């Protein structure tokens, strides 16, 4: 049996700044994971992904990232996404400093 579809967000890097971005419900890009739209339907997620990939003048490397729904919006389920949402651990740089 195929694996059950787990909740996802659409994420990428911004073309010009390079920083991590997420897609919101109204189709805008946000720097903040908690504002991202959580996709729970696989077919819907695939269509949204195609649409996001087409926005190549805004975003690079678009993909679906696993999340869990938390009290304050989506939370990463893998440590890689935790770093992407936060920034590096050796300096207070990136999102942890900017947001």
The residues binding another protein (CB under 8 A) are 13, 15-20, 56-57, 60-61, 77-80, 83-84, 87-91, 93-95
DSSP summary character for residue 91: S
**Which of 90, 92, 89, 70 shows the shortest CA–CA distance to 79?**
89
Smallest distance from the beta carbon of 91 to another protein, in angstroms?
7
- Looking at the DSSP assignment, which residues form a beta bridge with residue 20? 13
Nearer to another protein, 41 or 88 (CB): 88
Smallest distance from the beta carbon of 93 to another protein, in angstroms?
6
Nearer to another protein, 13 or 30 (CB): 13
* Distance, CA of 1 to CA of 44 (rounded, Å): 20
Q: Is 28 helix (H, G, I), strand (E, B) or coil?
A: coil
Smallest distance from the beta carbon of 15 to another protein, in angstroms?
7
């Amino acid at each position: 049996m195929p694996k059950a579809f787990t909740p996802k967000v659409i994420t990428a890097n911004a073309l010009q700044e390079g920083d991590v971005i997420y897609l919101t419900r109204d189709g805008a890009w946000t720097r903040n994971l908690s504002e991202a739209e959580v996709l729970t339907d696989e077919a819907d997620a695939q269509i949204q992904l195609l649409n996001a990939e087409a926005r190549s003048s805004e975003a690079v490397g678009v993909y679906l990232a696993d999340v869990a729904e938390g009290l304050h919006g989506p939370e990463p389920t893998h440590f890689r996404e935790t770093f992407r949402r936060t920034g590096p651990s050796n300096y207070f740089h990136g999102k942890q400093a900017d947001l």
